[in-house]
Amino acid sequence: MVASLFDPSEENKAIWVLLESAGVELTDVSFELLAKGRELADEVDWPLAGVLIGDRLEHLNSQVLSHQADEVLLLEHPLLEAFTVDAYTQALYAAIMERIPSVILFGATPNSRDIAGRLAVRLRTGLNADCIDLRMDKDRGVLISDVTGFGGGVVALLEMPDHRPQLATVRPGVFHSLEASAPRSDKVRRAKVELDQSVIRTRIIEQVKGEGVSIGQAPVLVCGGRGISGNFEMLTELAELLGGDVGATRPPVDEGYIERERQVGQTGVICHPEIAINCGISGAFHFVVGIQDAEIIISINSDPNAPIFEFSDYCVVGDVEQILPALIQSLKEERVVTHA
């Protein structure tokens, strides 16, 4: 195996997490990274740095520090205002070469994945992709990553004892974030960023948000099958209360109750929601493959022998037309109470 640019004897014992922001807030996965990074840093008693990259980002410092980073590392430059993978990689690479941290964590988001892969090649080091858990081996200062293989059938434990930095991307939504609390420090450092225009090869002219239906990323998916007799208004209401979206099996799509873009399954969309609620769905395999990766599957069906129950964490035997209105009602009441 090729040696990395640094070996473990040269590293600075520190953990970095690369943060992303959307407008004035850090993204959810950034808070999750800070929480997990804090846990790892405490395991080995190393400092945790939250890395911000972009232009004019000071307003985010307090969020990073109140989520328990020991310091903020700012990489700011006018050419970093919009994300371009070349410029972001170059700026980060320079900062890493200067400071040689032992561990860097990234969210497994499209942009951070892109950066992490490029950095790993430039630094001749390894990258543990899409980790579902992380811990530190205290004695050796080695990061151990849990990575699922074979479609989730096995978990592999990966470590890189001889290469630095130790890079890992983590799946959004896997770790819990911490509530903001009193900062541990107010330390903000700026890394030197030298870039020139030649590194910018793409220019964003306009950002257009697609208006099409996209259920693949919905955190909560309420799916309806033949058994709901086309009553998608009820499902939509439930989905809205839960901050989710609505999907369907093939029959209601065929019957014209709902658009084809919402069809879940082998010949529709493969979804990975946190929660899937299946209403009046028997569980044909063609459908099941589109929903089985959901973290929690709740199914409501009047037939106790429906195959869908085999794939479900929670099985509700009963009439959707009776159960959903009651669920919707109690969610609304709860909401009123919370807001009171």
Partner 1 sequence: MESELSEPTYITLDDNLWGEILEATNGAAGPCFQCGVCTATCPWGIVREEDFTVRTLLRRAQIGSLEKVESLWLCTACAQCEASCPRGVPIAEVIRGLRYLLWKRRHVLPDLPTTLWSLYWNNNPWGQPPSQRTQWMGDLEVPLFDADRHEILLYIGCTPSFDRRAQNIARSLVKVLKASGVSFGILGEGEPCCGESALDLGHRPYFEELANKAVAVFYQNQVKKIVTISPHCYDVMQNEYPDDAEFEVHHYTQYLASLLQNNLLSFQNPLNHKVTYQDPCFLGRRNNEYDAPREVINSVPGISLLEMDRSGPETLCCGGGGGRMWMETPIGERFSDVRVREAASTSAEILVTSCPFCITCFEDSIKAESLNGLKVLDVAELAALALEELT
Closest distance between partner 1 and the C-beta of residue 154, in Å? 6
Tell me: does residue 267 bind partner 1 (CB under 8 A): yes
Nearer to partner 1, 124 or 286 (CB): 286
Among candidates 253, 245, 243, 242, which has minimal Cα distance to 223?
245
Q: For partner 1, which residue of 154, 182, 208, 336 counts as binding (CB under 8 A)?
A: 154
Residue 286, classed as helix, strand or coil, is helix
Q: Is 226 in the site for partner 1 (CB under 8 A)?
A: yes
In the complex, the smallest distance separating the C-beta of residue 285 from partner 1, rounded to whole angstroms, is 4
- CB of residue 221 vs partner 1: minimum separation in angstroms? 17
Query: Is residue 270 near partner 1 by the rule CB under 8 A?
Result: yes
- Residue 121 interacting with partner 1 (CB under 8 A): no
- Smallest gap from residue 156 Cβ to partner 1 (A): 12
Among 85, 188, 213, 284, binds partner 1 (CB under 8 A): 284
State in angstroms the smallest separation of the CB of 190 from partner 1. Answer: 43
Indicate whether 182 belongs to the interface with partner 1 (CB under 8 A). no
User: Which of 276, 278, 246 has the alpha carbon at shortest distance from 261?
Assistant: 246
Q: Which stretch binds partner 1 (CB under 8 A): 51-59, 72-80, 137-145, 260-268?
A: 260-268
Own/partner contacts of 291-300, CB < 8 Å, gap of 24 or more, are 291/221, 291/223, 291/247, 291/264, 291/265, 293/152, 294/221, 300/324
Best CA proximity match to 87, nearest among 63, 111, 66, 104: 111
Which residue in 82, 195, 199, 289 binds partner 1 (CB under 8 A)?
A: 289
- Shortest separation between residue 256's beta carbon and partner 1, angstroms: 9
Contact between 303 and partner 1 (CB under 8 A)?
no
H or E element that contains 63: helix 61-66
Asked whether the beta carbons of 219 and 271 are under 8 A apart, the reply is no
Which of 161, 180, 259, 285 is close enough to bind partner 1 by CB under 8 A? Answer: 285
Query: How remote is the C-alpha of 60 from its chain's centroid?
Result: 20
Angle between helices 110-123 and 85-99 (to 10 degrees): 50
Nearest-angstrom CA–CA distance, 314 and 323 = 14
Interface pick for partner 1 out of 55, 162, 254, 274 (rule CB under 8 A): 254
What's phi and psi for 134, nearest 5 deg?
-145, 145
Cβ distance to partner 1 smaller for residue 154 or 340: 154
Question: Hey, how many other C-beta atoms are within 10 angstroms of the C-beta on 236?
Answer: 16
How many residues touch partner 1 (CB under 8 A)?
A: 23
Whose CA is closest to 58, among 73, 43, 47?
73
Site residues (vs partner 1, CB under 8 A): 150-154, 226, 250-251, 254, 260, 263, 266-268, 270, 283-286, 288-289, 307, 310
